[in-house]
Structure 1
Amino acid sequence: MNKHTFFIILISIILLPFWDGNAQEKITHPKNEFRGVWIATVANIDWPKINTDSVTKQKADFIEILETYKKMNYNAVIVQIRSSGEAFYPTELAPWSRYLTGKEGKAPTPFYDPLEWMITEAHARGFEFHAWLNPYRATMDIKTENLSPKHDFNRHRNWMIKYGQSGKEKFYYDPGLPEVQSHLTKVVEEVVQNYDIDAIHFDDYFYPYREVGQTFNDKSSFAKYGNGLKLEEWRRANVDTLVKRVSHTIKDCKPWVQFGISPFGVWRNKSVDPKGSDTESGQTNYDDLYADPMTWMEYKWIDYLVPQLYWSMEHPKASYSKLLKWWAENSKNTAIYIGNGTYKINNDSDKRWNNPMEIPNQIDITRTYKNVQGNAFFSAKWFLNKHQNVTKIIMENQYKYPALPYAVPNLKQIVIDSPAISTFENTTTKSIFSFKYPLNSKVRYIMVYRAKRTSKIDINDPSQIIDKITLTQKCEDLITVTILTPKENEHSSYAFTYVDFYGNESTPTLVN
């Protein structure tokens, strides 16, 4: 077929019926589903593999993680960029991480910005990039001689509280100090302003987990700022204040950037509170970590929650199945994804984890709850050339086809632009489309769908997804998309959609 300008054989744009992201259908292969993986940098759990690796090896290892999870049809990476009072990016607010260069405060050589590079590589492969920060953990030990002069321990010693069993102590930021809350909010604001991230992500470390015989000594800040509250109420109020401030800061800066938190899996036990879950957890969010996800959801301070349900489905004290049901029934105003513990496969006293179907079954049961929209897995290294029997099951069944994350409830909107084709060229081996650059929508990706020659195009069928192409910064008025067309797809139908920065998908442009 000859090249045509401003002409194609057939283009039709159709309106999709309204789709409620909170109402996931019970289907074998959902078109929309969050599939995330945590990439932990603290103590070099996942990346870099060794803190003295060369920049070349760091990059190769990170790309290996991305390629592995792209092949498994995941669509989001949650990358730890601040595990304590250090950073994986250049900033005056913290020193370079020792887990990146072997020495705190030492920049990479040759110099590069790991965060900017990771975001670019993740987006190029169709992943959302969630920047994961630990706000309150200041150090991983008390060997202060190893800290950079730029570390907050040396700059603001009065912010620090030592806590933990002998030999395992750490320093924590005092959550009760207004200046600490302002500083941590500023850390988040800088990341949101300077980087093209999709989300800011906090995990379960708020006030530290309770340890026998240990007291978190915040008496001074409580005496000064307690304002007549009980200690427990005041601590929860401190966490709420930070979550609220961070939320407003993110949205004021870039309203499309999500704010997500992955709390410990148990809010409260039913034995303590009738609204709690049927569990016997030794610690809980509300009573021990002073974190109250129910309040965060109530006031819409967060876009998503990923409760960490790192137990087997039939665990006697904290059952995955029971906790999944509890979170599904108690969620409101926010997306809910479930955190799954792949690190426990063949590696736990609970022998249920020796069953290769444990994680696949957890995915399946998660899908039966309409207002739970996916899963995230801790952590990346456990499916990286490991547990191949489990990954094979998932790739052939649960994650056989790609999926798009839903736009979270607070970010749903109509994408005004649809792909407008300017030119179309077809050869025996490829089809080349060019599109006018969207004028009215901030677009992240263009989705490409293809139906076999005898099938009808259906963008709700994930088996028809063939590509998710990142739109780079606008440098010209046209976007060119090249699609290889093997002979069996020579007379196929195509559909193209835009996905905006909020995660919303446009109406499709159909091409026969």
Structure 2
Amino acid sequence: MGKINFVFWRSRLRFLILTFLGLAIALMLNFPFWAIAQTPVSSNAPASDAAINTIEQPTITPIRPTNNNELRGIWLTNVDSDVLFSRQRIQQAINRLKRLKFNTLYPTVWNGGHTLYPSKVAEKTFGVEIDPNPDLQNRDMLAEVIELGHEQNFAVIPWFEYGLMTEEGSELMRQHPDWVSNRKDGSQVFVHGENNEHRLVWLTPAHPEVQKFLTDLIVEVVKKYDLDGIQLDDHFGMPSELGYDPYTVALYKKEHFGRLPSDDFQDPEWMKWRASKLSNLMQKIAKAVRAVKPNCLISLSPNPKDFSYKKYLQDWYSWVYLGLVDELVVQLYRDNIENFTRELERPEWQEIRQKVPVAVGILTGLRIQNVDMRQIKGQVKVAREMSFDGFSFFFYETLGNRDASFESLFFAPATRPDIKSIASARS
């Protein structure tokens, strides 16, 4: 009996020792990662560098893409960024983005009332062939991005960033003042920027000469360059308080037996009518683009559905059902993960995603606003958990010194989704 007890307790003691050693080893392996993730940014770090230079370690298992199709885009701008201002900078950026496993470039080509490439349409319309920035002269920035991007197997989709906007006092506005829309009180300007430096006006989408100009501008790029698509965004709209310019009012009266539009810019019938003129323009652009290059992708980067319509008269939901859009990259620039998630849970996304690929536009920073890497990773995780088709980051310059963190988001190269690939994946 005593021998049996001795053997029993010796076995028991050995089990306890092995268990304790296993727990100790596990704690030693996991504690450094937990500690790093919980370490705050030094209070001595400059505010402008705090988010950009912090590389967080993941505290949870990352959610991987459900298949090998994932849009990984980045917007390349000419504001607060010099990436487009020399061929060398473009080459360096593309090499870097390839290493980080991005697959899509959205370079701006229409900003501030100027084209960033040599444009015969712009020259004919308002006498200025290309943006006067010295770094854009005697070269073709867009041709360089396409050449260098395609060498590295990127999709290159020029982005008509300003849409129906132009700067107050631009040559376009000076030569075509009748194209500009106004509020009921006659005012036209919208002031933006940290120091109110941007004074913007909007062209009326109902005007046939505006329609011709924008359609010709986009078709020019599609004809001239070996691009993969074109992109419009939330600026391809018109603020809902506008529409009281003489041309639009006269057209409304003509179509309503002489009746004036409502003084209330939010009147449902008045909003619907103006939205229909924008939709007509979208139809013309899509038809013209596909007549030139049937496989040219038409990408749209709008705000969420209700906001787009109420704020900019942009009925993109209908555009998808009309077959005018091949890809959506919805702008969700939220600093609260609950709001971000709540927006992606809205039922319209489930419907739209049966029609076209839907990716999420994620803010990685602004010149005056840092975005913490933990927020970016959290939003990517949510988008993947909810099986969205990828994401695009705004904008290149704000990747900062965080390559290791961005690289950790992309485990392997991925192919851009398209309508055929999502149809087969969801059938």
TM-score (norm 1): 0.60
> Which structure dedicates a bigger proportion of its chain to helix?
2
Q: Which runs of 4+ in 1 moved over 6 A?
A: 410-413
Does the 8 A contact of 2:228 with 2:297 survive in 1?
yes
Quick check: 1:171 aligned with 2:201? yes
Quick check: 1:244 aligned with 2:261? no
Alignment of 1:187-226 (within 5 A): 187-209=217-239, 216=242, 218-226=244-252
CA distance change for structure 1 residues 135 and 358 in 2, over 3 Å: closer, same or farther?
closer
Distance 2:103 2:364 in 1: 17
2:292 aligns to what? Answer: 253
Quick check: 1:309 aligned with 2:332? yes
User: Equivalent residue of 2:82, what SS?
Assistant: coil
Q: Any gaps of 5 or more consecutive residues in structure 2?
A: 1-62, 123-127, 182-187, 262-268
Residue among 333, 337, 357 paired with 2:359: 337
Which AA in structure 1 matches 2:407? M
CA distance change for structure 1 residues 177 and 73 in 2, over 3 Å: closer, same or farther?
same
Query: Percent identity of the aligned residues?
Result: 19
In the TM superposition, residue 208 of structure 1 has moved relative to its aligned partner by 4.7
2:305 aligns to what? Answer: 267
Distance 2:132 2:317 in 1: 34
Alignment of 1:58-73 (within 5 A): 58-73=86-101
User: Equivalent residue of 2:299, what SS?
Assistant: strand
Which AA in structure 2 matches 1:225? L
CA distance change for structure 1 residues 298 and 87 in 2, over 3 Å: closer, same or farther?
same
Larger mean CA deviation between 185-194 and 86-95 belongs to 86-95
Alignment of 1:422-433 (within 5 A): none
In the TM superposition, residue 313 of structure 1 has moved relative to its aligned partner by 4.6
Distance 1:30 1:412 in 2: 13
CA distance change for structure 1 residues 328 and 249 in 2, over 3 Å: closer, same or farther?
same
Distance 2:327 2:309 in 1: 18
Deviations along 1:286-320, one digit per CA (max 9) or x if unpaired, are 111101121111111100111101113535xxx11
1:452 aligns to what? Answer: none
Larger Rg: 2
TM-score (norm 2): 0.71
Deviations along 1:321-358, one digit per CA (max 9) or x if unpaired, are 1112225324142110110000169936xxxx54x322
User: Equivalent residue of 1:45, what SS?
Assistant: coil
Quick check: 1:75 aligned with 2:103? yes
Q: Aligned residue pairs: how many? A: 333
Alignment of 1:85-484 (within 5 A): 85-94=113-122, 95-98=128-131, 100-101=133-134, 108=137, 111-134=138-161, 136-140=163-167, 142-144=168-170, 147=171, 152-161=172-181, 162-165=188-191, 168-209=198-239, 216=242, 218-226=244-252, 227-228=255-256, 230-264=269-303, 266-268=304-306, 284-315=307-338, 319-326=339-346, 328-331=349-352, 332-343=354-365, 347=369, 353-354=371-372, 356-370=373-387, 372-383=388-399, 386-388=400-402, 391-396=403-408, 398-409=409-420
Does the 8 A contact of 2:164 with 2:204 survive in 1?
no
Larger mean CA deviation between 287-296 and 90-99 belongs to 90-99
Q: Any gaps of 5 or more consecutive residues in structure 1?
A: 1-25, 269-283, 414-512
> Which structure dedicates a bigger proportion of its chain to strand?
1
1:490 aligns to what? Answer: none
Does the 8 A contact of 1:222 with 1:231 survive in 2?
no
CA distance change for structure 1 residues 99 and 336 in 2, over 3 Å: closer, same or farther?
farther
